[in-house]
Structure 1
Amino acid sequence: MSDVLDDLRRHPDLEAPNLYAVDATDRLVLDEAAPALADAADGTVVVIGDRYGALTLGAIARHGVTGLRTHQDRLTGELALRENAERLGLGGFTSHALTPDLVAGARLVLLQLPRSLDALDEIAALVAEHADPAVVVVAGGRVKHMTTAMNDVLARHLAVVEARLARQKSRVLVASSPRPAVERPARRWPERDEHPDLGITVCAHGGAFAGAGVDIGTRALLAHLDALEVGEGTAVDLGCGTGVLAVALARLRPGLAVTATDESAAAVASARATVEANGVGDRVHVTRAVGTDGIPDASVDLVLLNPPFHVGATVHPGVARALFADAARVLRPGGELWAVWNSHLRYRPTLEQVVGPTRQLGRDPKFTVTASTRR
């Protein structure tokens, strides 16, 4: 009999021979949770961190789970899940934000462990506070990315944490028994940090890159914004993260209408909080989208870009090229893409080819800042 996991695709995410829609962790989590899935009542199963639908569709196809709720941080993951489900004729799930309604009354949570301990802390806190007291969390990851600190984070919120035997370089942690409210840490998400040197307050949920700090790539690009000639029109902060660049741009050029866009749900929630905390909600619109989806062609005067150029833990040239092409599509002729990137990646020839003439604004051994003019 064909296994649904064998038929999953990554699309619309990048697809390549060395990039997979399913890995050994997906299979291990489903196997460890199989007895609980077989007995699960309608509406009691939650999946968090499913990458392309393996956990969600595996639970549905293999065990007939119904009323499943799922949360995926990356929008490409959500879209891949929907496409896989439609192609395979599967349903019975709904997508949710990382909010109480996701886990309310849940008795079984399947979790792909996030790399970030802060992201794990936010998830564990939500489960402990809002899931059924009998909830069991089956959390899996690749052994090389797991640390005992993950056990400690889970144990802050759930009293029982057990590590199961590894298989095919993956391992599962099983956590249960939510701690009483008086034993759990105080709520901390989103975090909020003042940066007097920049005059910006940054808000961040657990899964947001750099947290409530300001990463050095963003600082490198911020150092050159005073040289911007554009003073009015429209701008996009592409891959906005916590929204620092969007806020700085809105303050520096009040005549610009800024769209901040990111595919990460944690980033978008963080950016919205950052925008409100800095009083620029009237000039910055934050939206969750893949790249520049939803923005008309040749409609933008300026794009700022400081995203990670990675697929998982791997730098992949297709990511950068796709982002540059997204920027080029929405820029008006004469509009500019201001980008910061790791100097060793040498993206200038790609920028010249995809966007247009590119000048260097700054460079050090770590980062290069460039401005590319749309032909």
Structure 2
Amino acid sequence: MTTPSAELALARFPEDSRDQLRAWDASDEYLLKHLAESGRALDGTVVVIGDRWGALTTALRAHRPVQISDSFLAREATRANLTRNGAGPDSVRLLTTQDPPPDRIDVLLVHVPKSLALLEDQLLRLAPGVHEETVVIGTGMVKEIHTSTLKLFERILGPTRTSLAEKKARLIFCTPNPGLARAANPWPHSYTLPDGIGPVSGRTVVNHAGVFCAERLDVGTRFFLRHLPYGRGAERVVDLGCGNGVVGTAAALAHPAAEVLFVDESYQAVASAEATYRANTDDSGSEFGKAEFRVGDGMDGVPDESIDLVFNNPPFHSHQATTDATAWRMFTGALRTLRPGGELWVVGNRHLGYHVKLRRLFGNSELVASDAKFVVLKAVKK
């Protein structure tokens, strides 16, 4: 990426030489160009949120910014990109969306996230640290910035306006009003699950902001829950890409002695999964087995051939790009960690053709259930 001050070598994480997707977009370039041309001094505490692959944090490393991210992959990309460009790991401060934000914020740079709920949650969490002299600038592609986005900035921080578009990107300028009356943060949000979906029927699910389908159960997961193998004994089970944890919680309720690992690359998702599990079980006694909640890249860190059952509803988008790279990493990770005879259960849209990938990896793929939109597949490690 070319910036006003330097040429940066940037890559996504995990790095893949076959991946042609860039680790930045035109909105990152627009923001950095504006900061350079405005001559604005970035003094005090600089906070960067929504930095998808660390491009902004790396470019501004001389100002020792605080990056706040919901994504494990974004944090790892930031670490790798800092190193790639000659900066040490202590040149910035990396926080997650679950960590307490800085008490005082002098510059707030926001790469607008896809989730309006996550933006709302983060602005409400950061607002107490913003003062009337804080520089607040948002950035995003034109298709990502809507009237509702601007209204959020105005409602939570103060008067807001936008720039002209440049290379299909736009900037947001907000003038903080510390005296603005704000409603309480509505996140996390809870709702009751419907009937007819197995052990979690009528149970409570908890969603932190930005987690997929935070308002109601999505139809794919509902279909998956109706076809899971509930008649199993004690096992080691993984809810891979757990989201709000409803699938792993269903497994725990069906098999009280099972050890269940909830894993996702989103800090918000893993916090939701733990809250959902705690709301529906009491693992302080002997009734339930052990539950573990891990933020990470798929099955990384899970020992080889240590798992009996993996449940997976893989995403097929990486921000705005459609890709099967994440699903492929999840499937290969499951193959490595499953014991012989262990099973991977997958739900996905029919058109994604996951059965082809599973046959290539496992040598087999069984159609367990299907409807007009979704399929549930099972692959067995031989």
Q: With structure 2 as the length reference, what TM-score do the two structures score?
A: 0.90
3-state SS of paired residue (1:177): coil
Q: Does 1:235 align with 2:241?
A: no
User: 1:152-167 residue pairs with structure 2 within 5 A?
Assistant: 152-167=151-166
Structure 1 281/36 Cα, relative in aligned 2: closer, same or farther at 3 Å?
Answer: farther
The residue number in structure 1 matching 2:189 is: 191
* Equivalent pair of 1:13/1:77 in contact (CA under 8 Å): no
- Is the CA contact 1:203–1:212 (under 8 Å) kept in the aligned structure 2? no
The equivalent of 1:85 in structure 2 is 82
Q: Secondary structure at the match of 1:230?
A: coil
Partner of 1:124: 123
Matched residue, 1:304: 311
In structure 2, the residue corresponding to 1:104 is in which secondary structure? coil
How many corresponding residue pairs? 368
Structure 2: 5+ residue stretches without partners: 196-200, 285-289
Secondary structure (helix, strand or coil) at the match of 1:332 reads: strand
Alpha-carbon RMSD: 2.1
Counterparts of 1:15 and 1:175, CA distance in 2? 39
2:112 and 2:144 in contact (8 A); partners too: no
How far apart in 2 are the matches of 1:126 and 1:348? 43
SS of residue in 2 equivalent to 1:218: helix
SS in 2 for 1:111: strand
Whole-Å separation in 1 of the counterparts to 2:236 and 2:294 = 15
Write the mapping of 1:189-228 to structure 2, written as runs, cut at 5 A. Answer: 189-197=187-195, 198-225=201-228, 227-228=229-230
Indicate conservation of the 8 Å contact 2:101/2:126, yes or no.
no
Map 1:91-106 to 2 at 5 A.
91=88, 92-99=91-98, 101-106=100-105
1:236-280 CA deviation, whole Å, 9 max, x = no partner? 000000111111110011121000000011111211221222225
Give the superposition deviation at 1:104.
Answer: 2.0
Distance 1:222 1:280, change over 3 A: farther
Moved more, 269-278 or 335-344: 269-278
TM-score normalised according to structure 1 size: 0.92
Tell me by how many angstroms 1:196 deviates.
4.8
Is 1:47 equivalent to 2:44 in the alignment?
no
Question: Contact 1:247–1:284 at 8 Å: present in 2 too?
Answer: no
Secondary structure in 1 matching 2:104: coil
Preserved contact between residue 139 and residue 171 of structure 2 (Cα < 8 Å): yes
351-360 vs 95-104, greater mean Cα deviation:
95-104
The equivalent position to 1:321 in structure 2, one of 319, 328, 338, is: 328
State the AA in 1 paired with 2:104: G
- Which of 254, 257, 281 does residue 256 from structure 2 map onto? 254
Identify if the C-alpha distance between structure 1 residues 72 and 14 changes in structure 2 by more than 3 Å, giving closer, same or farther: farther
Identity of aligned residues (%): 35
Match of 2:266 in 1: 264
Distance of aligned partners of 1:203 and 1:35 in 2 relative to their CA distance in 1, 3 Å threshold: farther
Does the aligned pair in 1 maintain the 2:117–2:209 contact within 8 Å? yes
Contact 1:234 1:257 (8 Å CA) reproduced:
yes
- Please state whether the residue corresponding to 2:66 is helix, strand or coil: strand
Contact map agreement 1:298 1:329 (CA 8 A) in 2: yes
The reply on whether 1:72 has 2:72 as its aligned counterpart is: no
| Local SS of the residue matching 1:101 | coil
Give the letter aligned to residue 153 of structure 1.
L
Inter-CA distance 318–263: structure 2 relative to 1 (3 Å threshold): same
Q: What one-letter code is carried by the residue in structure 2 that aligns with 1:29?
A: L
Partners in 1 of 2:98 and 2:329 — Cα distance? 31
Pairwise CA distance, 1:20: 0.3
Aligned pair in 2 of structure 1 residues 100, 369: CA closer, same or farther (>3 Å)? closer
1:137: which partner in 2?
A: 136
Give 1:161 shift. 0.7
Q: Is the 8 A contact 1:156 1:185 kept in 2?
A: no
1:151 corresponding residue in structure 2: 150
Contact 1:112 1:141 in 2 (8 A): yes
183-192 vs 236-245, which moves further: 183-192
Distance in 2 between residues matched to 1:251 and 1:17, nearest whole Å: 40
SS in 2 for 1:39: coil
Q: Distance in 1 between matches of 2:245 and 2:315?
A: 14
Cα contact 1:235–1:302 (8 A) shared by 2: yes
Deviation at 1:179, TM superposition (A): 4.9
Shift in alpha-carbon separation, 1:357–1:55, aligned structure 2, 3 A: same
SS across alignment from 1:208: coil
For residue 40 of structure 1, report the CA deviation from its aligned partner: 2.6
Deviation of 1:146 after TM superposition, in Å, equals 2.0
Report the CA distance between 1:126 and its aligned residue: 1.4
Deviating more after overlay: 348-357 vs 247-256: 348-357
